[in-house]
Amino acid sequence: MKRRAFLAAGVAAAGPAAAGPLRALAAPAPIADTIHTVRGPIDVRQMGTTLVHEHVLVDFAGAEKADRARYDAEVAFRTILPHLQDLVTRGCRTLLECTPAYLGRDPRLLRRLSEASGLQIVTNTGYYGAANDVAVPKHAYVETARQLAARWTEEFRRGIEGTGVRPGFVKIGVDAGPLSAIDRKLVEAGALCHLDTGLTLAIHTGDGTAAMEILEVLQKGGVSPEAYVWVHSQNDKEQAGRSWAAQQGSWVELDGVGSGSIGAHVEAVLDLWRRGRLDRVLVSQDAGWYHVGEAKGGTYRAHTDLFDTFLPALRARGLGDAEIQTLLVDNPARAFAVRRRPRAPSS
């Protein structure tokens, strides 16, 4: 379906969930208002000020080459820890680490960093099909969406790689639309995993066309837009598209806050605020990035621009304590609470 046609048609065009090919496994109902950190589950009301999209360590060597033997975890720990401690001094309590499997996800390192810094860190399950599928493992091309979802659901139920660390959300990546066959399969698997577990779907989205197709796939799979976080929505130049997605119930994530993008992110937040959609907006920086393969991880970007520059800029344009609380505390807790969000039969 063309993007503009889908915008015009709305979510209602898909028909009932039972008509689609996706089915959920029987599973115990998750505890409402809980999120799983690398140190265990917490009530979402304990999340406090939250950065919803950051990276600690990444490895773009490719799905068949990325391996923990490629870096010294002790060097990475010593490099990253001061940045997380600095973040805690600014009042941040929770960080969602968005590096998926086969791209450098390291639950043991994350747990150690969380224990040393006091920062609550949340890791993920799912696969990254963006960047031309660099981090998609071979089995993803031959397995069904149901089989992929079962892998991710198993991590939620039993923990990641024997660590006992459970994911707090599903991270998927797709390239710009129209969705490729593998990208569509990953989104279908994400829909199934959400229905199995209640984990929110944070989907790295190449452009607005892909974002609209993702909504279409999710609705056919019986998943409400409220389970979907449109990651990197700032890359879509059509403000009306972001507003429409928020109106459907999707979470609109503006996550590229940095020294060179403060103005654009402020304007994007203000636009959604004026449209009455601030209650569906998430903000973050996509910062950090200890790069495996570079000496001492290369240049690690601090996680502090949002606090030091972006929030003062929002306040200067009229946002107050209540709006800041909505963006950094209330919305992350609502967006990432472990809770199944099926599409209503009448929608």
Give the model confidence (pLDDT) of 142-182 as tens digits. 999 999 999 999 999 999 999 999 999 999 999 999 999 99
How many angstroms separate the CA atoms of 143 and 149, rounded? 10
3-class SS of residue 290: strand
Residue 172 lies in a domain: yes
User: What single letter denotes the amino acid at residue 61?
Assistant: A
Angle ∠(292,295,301) on CA atoms, nearest 5:
70
Measured CA to CA in angstroms, residue 281 lies from 4, 206, 346 at distances of 22, 18, 25
Q: Is residue 2 part of a domain?
A: no
Averaged pLDDT, 317-345: 95
pTM: 0.91
Note whether residue 347 is domain-resident. Answer: no
Question: Beta-carbon neighbour count of residue 71 at 10 Å?
Answer: 21
Give the domain range for residue 161. Answer: 38-57+77-285+299-336
Q: Bigger pLDDT: 50 or 31?
A: 50
CB 336 within 8 A of CB 44: yes
Q: What is the pLDDT of residues 91-117, one digit of tens each?
A: 999 999 999 999 999 999 999 999 999
Strand partners of residue 171: 202
Total number of domains in the chain:
1
pLDDT of residue 77: 98
Residues in CB range of 192: below 8 A, 6 or more apart: 22, 23, 24, 25, 145, 146, 149, 221
Q: Is residue 280, in this structure, part of any structural domain at all? A: yes
Closest by CA to 57, choosing from 20, 12, 107, is 107
Is pLDDT above 60 for 269? yes
Residue 12 token pair: 């209602």
Give the per-residue pLDDT at 32. Answer: 59
Residue 72 is encoded by which pair of tokens?
């010294």
124-125 β-sheet, strand order: 124-125, 169-173, 201-204, 228-231, 251-254, 281-283
Question: Is residue 67 situated within a structural domain?
Answer: no
Task: Name every residue whose Cβ is closer than 8 Å to that of residue 106 and which is 6 or more positions away in sequence.
Answer: 56, 57, 68, 73
**225/282 Cα distance (integer angstroms):** 15
Residue 20: pLDDT above 70? no
Within a domain: 13: no
pLDDT at 31 exceeding the cut of 80 = no
Q: Give 346's pLDDT tier (boundaries 50, 70, 90).
A: low
CATH number at residue 207: 3.20.20.140
Residue 313 within a domain:
yes
**CA 125 → CA 112, 178, 214, distances in Å?**
19, 24, 18
Assess if residue 225 is contained within a domain.
yes
